[in-house]
Chain A
Amino acid sequence: DLLQWPQISKCRSPEMETFSCYWTAGNFYNLTAPRIIQLLYMKSNEEDWKECPDYVTSGQNSCYFNASYTSVWTPYCVQLASKNEVYDRKCFSVDEIVLPDPPVHLNWTLLNTSQTGIHGDIQVRWDPPPTADVRKGWITLEYELQYKEVNETKWKELKPRLSTMVPLYSLKTARDYEIRIRSRQRTSEKFGEFSEILYVSFSQIGIGCDHCTEEVEFPWFLVVVFGVCGLAVTVISVMLSKQPRLKMLIFPPVPVPKINGIDPDLLKKGKLDEVNSILACHDNYKTQLYNDDLWVEFIELDIEDPDEKNRASDTDRLLSEDHLKSHSCLGTKDDDSGRASCCEPDIPETDFSASDTCDATSDSDQFKKATEKEEDLLCLDRQDNDESLPSLANTDPQRRHRNTQSENSHQWAPFADSVESPRPSVNTQISNQNSLTSTDFYAQVSDITPAGRVVLSPGQKSKLGIAQREGCTEQNFTMDNTYFCEADVKKCIAVTSHEENEPHVQEQSYNEDSYFTTESLTTTVANLGASTAEPPSSEMPVADYTSIHIVHSPQGLVLNATALPVPDKEFNVSCGYVSTDQLNKIMP
């Protein structure tokens, strides 16, 4: 057995007028007489320990302090001691140890019963503990009621309240209930003891409904389960149903934002052919003012920007193989006239599968499509004279650089065919053109045939190097192609004239010049003319930059005759546009 010292177990005041302290004797002494252990107390404003005034009233091992010994807000210390030693000590003030007695005189009365007689309401009343002087307001009590059915184990609690009566609603008349109440001082936390249990039995007052059927509880569980199952079945059947209408009704598709006109995603993805077609096929996208200034400005910007390569590769894409492919695979008619490709009324949908399949097409088809592409390039004059155009044009040079050399050979051969086909005169090129469909804004003249025709290509200048030899002789310049690449012409002529002498050098020297300068053009054309059967005619210097007089249908631009001062060759610029008039003079 463990040795247990005497301990003060608790001190309690039931009404804030008296208080008692209780202790446990422990097993310290085998023959402990109660008086050996003493309880001494001391008030804070006194100095010596006094002995307990009453060891009897509160029972064994207790000390009772009556009203005369009790000061409520005065601190006390009590200690348990025998002659020589102190076993335990506690300090407190009376207001802290208030634990009221339980309420008394519990009773209940019936308020009413339900129509079926199954449930009833009762009112429970009680009196405050007799020791607590509630009447004079010396102590304020609050009560907590607990109740349960007789055969239950868990008590239900009500919120503590100040009043001494409380209604209980919806008790089952067929059952018996037990009620108990306890109280506490209002600002304390601890409750006193429970009162005696009050038994509530409806049958005693003749209301009990013995033959009443047990009220069936609403089968919530079953309802929930079946509801969930049904909902799941419905949802699954709707989703699996082939009825698109029903599906759309219940699961409406999330609308994708669609802007009439231009889909910015197309631009992002580089699907410029769609954008081009959209723009081209709208009448209100007609070119506006074609001031000299407009074009010049754009072109000048283009010139001054040394960093063209870093710009968006839209025009690169325009002139790229991919662009060609995607465009060519859009079902354009393989018509040599070249008109069909420009004049698709429909906005072609981006069909990746189609473009992918285009990869399988033979090279010859590619060439054909490439040539059609060339025609489309010519159709640029129909495009809107947007700011985007110059930017696109500006990026042409870079794009050309990027194209691989290997493509050169592919691209040269068919050009002649395609370029030859449209042959309206320069002056009549204005008319008779269907609307452009998907076209490029700018095209590079990759070569000028000895015949005087300009060959446009998305290819790079680098292409020119290798293929120049072949292309130059084969290709003819069309009168219709108003865009000339001076560089190309230069190269072409240079190649033919120099007989493969350092074609690469030529290439490099013209690396930056996507287009021919007028000077070079004249010279090259002149050379060309000299080497071929069709000598170029005029030697009139053509300006590097000319303003567009009229932008026409796919045939090209009609440039003004007014020529700007010809920049130096070192002045790396994009292709200077040559007016058709000038070109006519240049070439046969």
Chain B
Amino acid sequence: MSTKGASLKGLLLMVLLVSHMLLTKEGVTSLPICPNGSVNCQLSLEELFDRAVKLSHYIHFLSSEMFNEFDERYAQGRGFIAKAVNSCHTASLTTPEDKEQAQQIHHEDLLNLILGVLRSWNDPLIHLASEVQRIKEAPETILWKAVEIEEQNKRLLEGMEKIVGRVHSGEVENDIYTPWDGLPSLQLADEDSRLFAFYNLLHCLRRDSHKIDNYLKVLKCRLIHDNNC
């Protein structure tokens, strides 16, 4: 009897622990799709934006940390300086560069731009996750973050498409997109060149994720809170 009770307690404890772990994962809480429980429910725009902002913040946080770790680990001795960041493949997309421009741009255009940037990063992130594993003695944290960023980017893209579907009055434009051709540079034989390519890619990633995070916050404050966050 005592063993039975003990095993039940253990099982309960396990369940509690696991559920706690799952529920408190930072930044990526699995929110219920339909909080009210009804079948044909829809998330409010506010909730959609909340989730999008959380995701974008999380992605930027991971990118920032990943860049710092890579910098510490590989770039210090080599004297990398981020090249003129024109080398970022998304530089061709004209995005708002200051607050005024961000405030003046129409929210639909801004949303499309965000979507365009996210789509443009889909491909590089996949290759980043796979190529970073080939770096000699890559720390586990960098590897994990690369994979995580790629996953979360996909989720954010889905979320943004939903938002765009709600917000857009007209048709959704899908043509904002820049292809990425940096894969060969990630596979260079020379280790220094290869690491420099990674360094730049991670620098670009950090920058772009910050952009997206900012734009989304601006949009959220503008559309949801009426410029009164």
Contact = CB atoms under 8 A, between A and B. Distances in A.
A93 B85 contact: yes
Contacts of B57: 186-187
A67 B213 CA distance: 21
A232 interface: no
Interface in A96-146: 133-138, 140
A81 B80 CA distance: 23
B225 to A, nearest CB: 8
A150 interface: no
Interface residues of B, number: 30
B64 A187 contact: yes
Interface string A136-164: 11101000000000000000000000000
B145 interface: no
Nearest to A70: B98
Nearest to B210: A95
A559 interface: no
Contacts of B97: 71-74
Given A17-B99, A71-B98, A91-B81, A135 B229 contact: yes
Interface in B29-67: 57, 60-61, 64
A204 interface: no
A95 B67 CA distance: 15
Contact of A137 (B60, B84, B211, B221): B221
Contacts of A73: 95, 97, 207, 210-211
B207 A137 contact: no
A72 B229 contact: no
B221 A45 contact: no
Given A136-B222, A138-B214, A44 B227 contact: no
Interface size class of A (residues with CB under 8 A): 20 to 34
Contact of A138 (B84, B85, B95, B102): B102
Contacts of A133: 99
A16 B97 CA distance: 10
Interface in B2-42: none
B103 interface: yes
Contacts of B218: 136-138
A348 interface: no
A44 B85 contact: yes
A68 to B, nearest CB: 9
A588 interface: no
Interface in A55-106: 67, 70-75, 91, 93, 95
Contacts of A187: 57, 60-61, 64, 210, 213
A93 B203 CA distance: 11
Interface in B182-229: 207, 210-211, 213-214, 217-222, 227-229
Contacts of B210: 73, 95, 187
B86 A136 contact: no
A93 B210 CA distance: 12
A73 B93 CA distance: 13
B98 A17 contact: yes
B227 A67 contact: no
A17 B214 CA distance: 13
B172 interface: no
B85 A136 contact: no
B98 A67 contact: yes
Name the residue among B64, B213, B214 with the largest chain A CB count within 10 angstroms.
B214
A44 B103 CA distance: 24
Contacts of A135: 221, 227-229
B89 to A, nearest CB: 14
Contacts of B211: 73
B142 to A, nearest CB: 18
B171 interface: no
Interface of B: 57, 60-61, 64, 81-82, 84-86, 95, 97-100, 102-103, 207, 210-211, 213-214, 217-222, 227-229
5 contacts: A73-B97, A91-B82, A95-B210, A187-B57, A187-B61
What 5 pairs across the A-B complex have the smallest Cβ distances? A137-B221, A137-B217, A71-B97, A44-B84, A75-B85
Given A91-B81, A136-B221, A137-B220, 14 more contacts: A44-B86, A71-B98, A72-B97, A72-B98, A75-B82, A133-B99, A134-B229, A135-B227, A135-B229, A136-B99, A136-B103, A137-B219, A137-B222, A138-B99
